[in-house]
Chains A and B, each alone.
Chain A
Amino acid sequence: MPAATENLIERCREIVEDLQMGEVRRWKEQNPGAAAIGYFPVYAPMELIHASGFLPVGLNGAGDRLDLQYADARFGSFICSIVKTTLEMGLTGYLDPLDGLLFSGICDSARNLAFVFQRNFPQKYVDFLHLPQNPSSSASAGFLKAEYLRLAAQLEKLGGRKLADDALRASIAAYNENRALLGDLYALRASNPHQVRTSDLYLLQRAGNFLPVETHNEWLSRALADIADRQAKPRDSVRIVIEGSFCEQPPLDLIRLVEDAGCYVLDDDFLLGRRWFTEDVPAGDDPLGALAESYLDRSVYSSVRHDFRHRRHKLLVEKARRLGADAVLFLIAKFCEPAYFDYVLFKRELEAAQIPHLLLEFEEKAFTFDRLRIEVETFVESLLFD
């Protein structure tokens, strides 16, 4: 890979690991009066925040870079890490660059977190979106459009631009491009997994949490051109699909470990909120309506979105088959209730389809991966040599 791309990925790593959110602070200096709005995974309408002239900032916890001093007492046992580290970041000032925080009902823990934030940070705008879970109803799209309008009005109160169709169309186009670029990178990895390291793709993607989408698009285009030209030799690997990391993110070292232990990752659900539409959002006469309909009809499945017309466990098996995967690796955050519930039906369906799988549990903060490494290696060996 050319040095330029190596440098770019290194730059992305710095951005991702910078708890102080230097990039966000810089953007705010350059855009006085404009607000930065943090959004909790998974399905945040970044287009709307962008169209109001604000910077959407993706929140994905603090990884292993922050000790919990306060949040443990607020959230107690049996709660996943991202909920606690996000609150800890707030209570220790790391979220100061953000003027607002947006949540949605992905799970009960995240939902209560939204309101705990509301109490503890009265100076911030904290909102909660209800994303409809019944796409079969004729009323869902209208409801979601109204919900998005409510959000737009709040952003306007915060000093944002009044929502205008033209601006929204432009934002939708920018994010369509962002998803298309990421989609190309993902497609390239699926067809030539030896050419694209998952940990690189991950960093390139995650840096977008803190960058204006236009900048991120530029970076992704550059990286895509370079990586496509890259020469690398294929090795003996097991071709896997990763499922279960749609919200809390596994440590980077764990992602590397999975690759180093002999897995080619054909697809994953890391940072799902960056590519949650399966197709472009059509930005026609009614862009807001299109955004709402896209959540209902064009959004990627995950354990925190319910669409009984298309069952997730069937979709996972279809995906594994389509990509020619040898196995599915479940990477599930400790205490992530939605992921664990889904595992039951996923497992049943995979077993029926005779697709092997391995379940690994992680926490944001993990210091040693020895046990996980052995598990992955044993799994890989059993698949390669059986």
Chain B
Amino acid sequence: MSEAPRSEYRGQIHQQQKDLMLRWYERLEESARTGNPPSVELMISGNSIELLEGFGAVPLYPEVNALQLAIRHLSLDPILAAEELGYAADNCAYVKADIGALIRGITPAGTPLPKPALVLCNFVGCNTYVKWFEHAAEFQGVPLAMLDVPFLRTPEPRAEDVDYVVRQLHEIVCQLEQITGRRFDMDRFREAVRCSARVEEAWSRIKHLARRTPSPFDAYFDAITLMGPLYVYRGSPEGVAFFELALKEMEEKAARGEGIYDQEKFRVVLEGPPPYPFFRSFRDMFASWKATAVASTYSTVGGLWEFGFRHDPSRPFESVALHMLAHNVTNRNYLQRYEQIRRYVEEWDADGIVIHFVKSCRLFSAGQGDMRDYFTRQLGVPTLYIESDLEDPRYFSEAQIKNRMDAFFEALEHSRSTGTLRRGAAALRQPAAGAGSAPGAGERLNILP
């Protein structure tokens, strides 16, 4: 293939995003120097940033730090340092990079990071989070609190689930009051929830713009750029201003009929996190085929809003609980993820699915072969399966991935030339009798009785 065309979107928001993230690191540095604002370590998945706003606390997201290290090609050293401590080759490399960086005193921006007032383990789906935060608290010598969020094992969260999370949120508020010596500001909390709802509305509308052909942005690579502000600023007026501007720019782009290439050739759904150490080359592989990700599961780790959920200022605690329980990809069960992807193919008009198996992350990857079986054998959707890692540069074989990617898009191109490539709803076939062993082939998955 020829040189990959430049594909990322650059508008005003590109610079604003950089400024916002830089300001976040400045606040963290300030917290490191003076203890003010206090910082709280938190996980991205279904994060409860709104609660922190109620204390004027700044979030410390170790995942963001880990991915920044990887993008800047700084992750291998800390990973090796962690392995010296006894971490296994196969443990999640996000954790290894974070703990290794902690021990070596490496930070992504070079500026100091604070010792958090509290390591708040919001256990939203990923079991590795619990280990990670236990270790983070241990190695930093700071208090650790658990916020246990029941996994979504029924189609909707149960009243008991919501109650359990709400009561823990109340307990954490008390704990944070004691630790920080600050009173929880209920008005500010409610205001944060209101801001979140507005950000979520704008973000969701941006995502729905990708249903158009051509899509004005890439819902995997460009979405990742927007995800930083989504997690750090969601509950604040800065976040609202940023996302409303982003929506405006994207709407204008869509109105002009601009895609991310001169001509959009393929539309895919992406499943799995990106290979951050090779972010650029990975993106270029899609660009060289003029393939746009019109939807992605990774961009719903922190929250799944495109299907309608919004925080609700009239029930702030409950809506924070609901967000953690049911409206992010990590706490939804595996079949609900199949269903999410199926809807993307159908409603976002995709030609196929790219499953990126990530060695580090069993939450995403354990069972992706079965997922592939569901989509290819049962629904007849073209699916590409590739393997690497999100943090560890030792697990990326550029040539191999490129070969597979080329073969996949060549096959799609061939089907298109013979008129057999179907898109969106038409891509989901009603399977032949006997195909697949699953319930009601071709139909929606019946998640639980």
A binds B: yes
> Which has the most chain A C-beta neighbours within 10 Å: B86, B92, B359, B370?
B370
Known contacts A116-B334, A120-B438, A338-B131; is-contact A143 B446 (Cβ 8 Å) = no
B437 within 8 A of A: yes
- Determine the distance from Cα of A114 to Cα of B147 in the docked complex, in whole angstroms: 23
With CB as the reference atom, state the residue of chain B lying closest to A332: B88
Does A112 lie within 8 Å of B362, measured CB to CB?
Answer: yes
B357 within 8 A of A: yes
A73 surroundings in chain B (CB, below 8 A): 369, 373
Does B438 lie within 8 Å of A341, measured CB to CB?
Answer: no
Give the residue of A113, A125, A157 whose beta carbon is less than 8 angstroms from that of B366: A113
B130 within 8 A of A: yes
Does B127 lie within 8 Å of A78, measured CB to CB?
Answer: no
A157 surroundings in chain B (CB, below 8 A): 449
- Determine the distance from Cα of A74 to Cα of B357 in the docked complex, in whole angstroms: 12
* B376-421 interface with A by 8 A CB criterion: 387
**9 examples of A-B residue contacts, CB within 8 angstroms:** A76-B357, A108-B363, A112-B362, A115-B334, A119-B445, A133-B123, A136-B146, A341-B128, A345-B135
A25 within 8 A of B: no
Question: Range of interface residues on chain B?
Answer: 35 or more
> Which has the most chain A C-beta neighbours within 10 Å: B130, B367, B369?
B367
A3 within 8 A of B: no
Does A147 lie within 8 Å of B160, measured CB to CB?
Answer: yes
A109 within 8 A of B: yes
Q: How far is the CB of B387 from chain A (nearest CB, A)?
A: 7
Does B151 lie within 8 Å of A128, measured CB to CB?
Answer: yes
- Determine the distance from Cα of A178 to Cα of B65 in the docked complex, in whole angstroms: 49
B433 within 8 A of A: no
A195 within 8 A of B: no
A79 within 8 A of B: yes
With CB as the reference atom, state the residue of chain B lying closest to A106: B127
Q: Can you list the 9 inter-chain pairs with the closest CB atoms, starting with the nearest? A: A115-B334, A134-B148, A108-B362, A341-B131, A340-B88, A139-B167, A122-B439, A146-B160, A143-B164
A13 surroundings in chain B (CB, below 8 A): none
Give the residue of B150, B335, B362 whose beta carbon is less than 8 angstroms from that of A130: B150
Known contacts A122-B439, A133-B146; is-contact A140 B164 (Cβ 8 Å) = yes
Known contacts A116-B367, A306-B146, A335-B90; is-contact A108 B128 (Cβ 8 Å) = yes
- Determine the distance from Cα of A133 to Cα of B168 in the docked complex, in whole angstroms: 12
Give the residue of A108, A154, A347 whose beta carbon is less than 8 angstroms from that of B127: A108
Question: Range of interface residues on chain A?
Answer: 35 or more
Give the residue of A75, A106, A127, A154 whose beta carbon is less than 8 angstroms from that of B367: A75
A83 within 8 A of B: yes
A132 within 8 A of B: yes
B144 within 8 A of A: yes
Does A337 lie within 8 Å of B158, measured CB to CB?
Answer: no
- Determine the distance from Cα of A127 to Cα of B370 in the docked complex, in whole angstroms: 18
Known contacts A105-B127, A111-B127, A137-B148; is-contact A74 B153 (Cβ 8 Å) = no
- Determine the distance from Cα of A75 to Cα of B367 in the docked complex, in whole angstroms: 4
Known contacts A74-B370, A138-B167; is-contact A107 B334 (Cβ 8 Å) = no
* B424-449 interface with A by 8 A CB criterion: 437-439, 445-449
Does B445 lie within 8 Å of A338, measured CB to CB?
Answer: no
- Determine the distance from Cα of A132 to Cα of B153 in the docked complex, in whole angstroms: 14
- Determine the distance from Cα of A39 to Cα of B448 in the docked complex, in whole angstroms: 18
B359 surroundings in chain A (CB, below 8 A): 77-78
Does A107 lie within 8 Å of B370, measured CB to CB?
Answer: no
A118 surroundings in chain B (CB, below 8 A): 335, 447-448
Q: How far is the CB of A350 from chain B (nearest CB, A)?
A: 11
- Determine the distance from Cα of A342 to Cα of B86 in the docked complex, in whole angstroms: 9
B126 surroundings in chain A (CB, below 8 A): 108
- Determine the distance from Cα of A115 to Cα of B446 in the docked complex, in whole angstroms: 11
* A302-316 interface with B by 8 A CB criterion: 304, 306, 308
Give the residue of A75, A154, A341 whose beta carbon is less than 8 angstroms from that of B369: A75
Query: A130-B161, A132-B164, A138-B171 are known contacts; what are 17 more A-B pairs with Cβ within 8 Å?
Result: A74-B369, A78-B359, A108-B127, A111-B151, A113-B366, A122-B439, A127-B153, A134-B146, A139-B167, A140-B148, A142-B160, A147-B150, A341-B91, A342-B131, A343-B86, A343-B88, A344-B135
* A342-367 interface with B by 8 A CB criterion: 342-345, 347-348
